[in-house]
Amino acid sequence: MSGLWYDENFQDDTRLGLRAIRTHFSGRSEYQKVEIFETKRFGRVLAIDEIFMTSERDEYFYHEMLVHPALTCHADPKRVLVIGGGDGGTVREVLRHNVDKVVMIEIDELVVRASQEHLPTIGTAWDDPRLEVRFDDGIKYVCESDDEKYDIVLLDGTDPVGPGEVLFEKRFYEGCKRMLKPGGVFALQSETVFLFEDVFVETQQKLRELFAQVHPYFGPVPIYASGQWSWTMASDSRAPADADVSRIEALEAHTKYYCRDIHKGAFAMPNHVRKRLAAL
């Protein structure tokens, strides 16, 4: 097979490779390098600064898991804020719910423009009238905005390196909490526990200092380092058991991964994680 190997280099000791059959897009913004290329098994892949962000074939694991637990656990989610998420997969899943308004704050317009052109199977909801996309700094927005508050805040960011580092700081989580209405739910991607255990644990600690309910959950994302991923749901009032089962059932007509059993099972705590968190 022809094409050059494209490697994600994880902390200079582990490489994950895909053969890039063809390049669809390659560009650089003031923030980062953005590339979209074709692979045999994963379809089109979006990479930012040489880290795999998403692929056509496995994106549903990540996007469904970031979005649906939080929205089904909220009593009646109408206003949703998405920070990041420039490929459009997260807002696509949010818009499956009976929401009135989704505001997406993405710092890098290039990610959105490249994804709109080259990842049309992921971003299928760009034209939904309930969606407003703003190109702005997410941390500035959550810390300073006077906009009406939200029922749900979702963080769909990159790894804690480069411009994404700030998205793992406590002041950013404080801003996210500030943007929530009473009864609101915050959900974020919280990295691989297997390779990034300290980042995962520190994230749980920071969230516990701010929210009464903090619940990590787990699932596969084959294209990410280790393939094992985590997300975390945080709220002052809502917990995984509050999920509206009838809304999960309705989603099952569309979802590929998320369903009633996954909602229950994903929050089960692996023993090594339970032990680390018990020590906090």
Which residues contact ligand SPD by CB under 6 A? 51, 53-54, 62, 85, 87, 89-90, 156, 158-159, 189, 224-225
Torsion 167-122-58-100 (CA) sign: positive
Closest separation between CB of residue 186 and ligand SPD, Å? 16
Closest to ligand SPD by CB, 202 or 236: 202
Task: Give the full edge-to-edge strand order of the sheet including 33-39.
Answer: 22-28, 33-39, 43-48, 51-55
- C-alpha to C-alpha distance for 244 and 162, rounded to whole angstroms: 38
- C-alpha to C-alpha distance for 176 and 210, rounded to whole angstroms: 10
Closest to ligand SPD by CB, 39 or 189: 189
Q: Phi, psi at residue 279, to the nearest 5°? A: -80, -5
Q: In the Cβ-directed half-sphere of 175, how many Cα atoms lie within 13 Å?
A: 22
Closest to ligand SPD by CB, 53 or 133: 53
Closest separation between CB of residue 98 and ligand SPD, Å? 23
Closest to ligand SPD by CB, 89 or 138: 89
Closest to ligand SPD by CB, 44 or 238: 44
Q: Are strands 43-48 and 51-55 parallel, antiparallel or unpaired?
A: antiparallel
- In the 8-state DSSP scheme, what is residue 221? -
Closest separation between CB of residue 271 and ligand SPD, Å? 24
Closest to ligand SPD by CB, 138 or 238: 138
Q: Catalogue the E-assigned strands of the chain.
A: 4-10, 14-20, 22-28, 33-39, 43-48, 51-55, 79-84, 101-106, 131-135, 150-156, 180-189, 213-220, 228-235
146, 156, 198, 244: which one is catalytic? 156
Q: Is 156 a catalytic residue?
A: yes
Closest separation between CB of residue 225 and ligand SPD, Å? 6
Closest separation between CB of residue 62 and ligand SPD, Å? 6
The vertex-58 CA angle with 73 and 242, nearest 5°, equals: 10
Alpha-helical regions (H) of the chain: 59-73, 89-94, 109-118, 138-144, 170-178, 197-208, 245-251, 260-266, 271-278
Closest separation between CB of residue 196 and ligand SPD, Å? 9
List active site positions.
156
